[in-house]
Structure 1
């Protein structure tokens, strides 16, 4: 299943390099949970991050973020690519 997760607030002082490092940590952690983080986008102006993930369920996607770097998404939506 595809999900789009949304992080509504970057940590204070964090930027695109920090998000890239967090994504790399997700990639190192994801396999053990059957998850694949596919892509991410950073909105620096509004301090948001969006992650596209293929996961068996939303909790598995959250688990990877929690274990990899502790920054769990504020929202997660099931999506269908069109």
Structure 2
């Protein structure tokens, strides 16, 4: 399945706890879209969040965020995992 990294910018005041709660909501509904949100990273000082997701396509990945909490990514990049 394709792998994507999404980037949320302009989230001033978002904390790691806030993002954990949003991620939990993603995980609760992701199966409906054939998506698997794998990991996320939070940059609290710059108001940015990065999410790594297996999804059939970018639209499916975005649909999960939209339904789960409404926080759509500003950018969604197809990526290939390396070591």
TM-score (norm 2): 0.94
**Counterpart for residue 63 of structure 1:** 63
- Contact residue 13 and residue 47 of structure 2 kept, 8 A: no
TM-score (norm 1): 0.95
- Structure 1 runs (4+) greater than 3 angstroms displaced: none
Aligned length: 81
User: Which consecutive residues of structure 2, in runs of 5 or more, have no partner in the other structure?
Assistant: none
User: What do you get for the CA RMSD once the two structures are aligned?
Assistant: 0.8
Q: Distance in 2 between matches of 1:26 and 1:78?
A: 19
User: Which consecutive residues of structure 1, in runs of 5 or more, have no partner in the other structure?
Assistant: none
Cα displacement string for residues 13-64 of structure 1 (whole angstroms, at most 9, x for unaligned residues): 3211110000000000100000000000001111100000000000000000
- Answering whether residue 21 of structure 2 is matched by residue 29 of structure 1, we say no
